[in-house]
Amino acid sequence: MTSPRACPHCGVVLDRAPTRRVRCADCGQPILVRKGRLCTEDETKAIDACARVAVPVDRLWEARESLSRKWGRRASAAEAAWGILNELVVTTPDFHDRGMIYFQMARFLWDEGRDHLELARQCRQMELANWKHSAEDGVLDLKRARIVVITAKEISCPECRALEGVGFTYEEAVERAPLPVAACTHELSPGRSHGWCRCCYGLRF
């Protein structure tokens, strides 16, 4: 059994278990702490992503071991977390909850420097679908409502600010998919194809 004080990179047993981020004195790699376990940065990101959708860490480790056996190599924690998120998004019936999973998937890709735009768009589409579902249940009258864009106002980028308060019918919002704003420059940096758009939808009656 691996010692709870072992470096997750090189396996050397530390003199004492750290309680915050440190560097291994032997290999120099960063060691982080999550759920009482010493982790790599990859493992930490995976644990955090799963925690945000209420997936216990034990399920993450089980998924990692299962993938490792299937692939004949050691699966990364990120690969296991990604598999769990993909499974959840197709098995979660509630549109709001599914939107939250899409949001976490988009954020997961963002944190890895990968293109997140389509998953962020799916998150907003689930928001619209949730309102449509409420309308079908008689809770909401979408025919009397305009779907409006809500931005972070002065701290939003110019591309997003231009959409503040712009209204759409439900059908227009679904078809045009104005959010997230593809040209958003918030937190845009070299190597990224899109910024992280913080705009959301609201209802105006």
| Tally of domains in the chain | 1
Domain that holds residue 2: 1-39
Which two tokens mark 189? 């940096």
Closest CA to 87 of 116, 125, 60: 60
Residue 56 within any structural domain of the chain: no
In this prediction, residue 16 has a pLDDT band, given cuts at 50, 70 and 90, of: confident
Distance, C-alpha 151 to centroid of its chain? 20
Confirm whether 89 is domain-assigned.
no
pLDDT at 1 over 60: no
First-to-last C-alpha distance (Å) of the chain: 61
Per-residue pLDDT, 36: 83
Beta-bridge mates of residue 38:
33
> Is there a domain that residue 7 lies in?
yes
In a domain, 194, yes or no: no
The segment with the largest mean pLDDT, out of 11-15, 18-22, 36-40, 91-95, is 91-95
Q: Record the pTM.
A: 0.88
Rounded CA-CA distance 155/31 in Å is: 35
Classify residue 15: in a domain, yes or no: yes
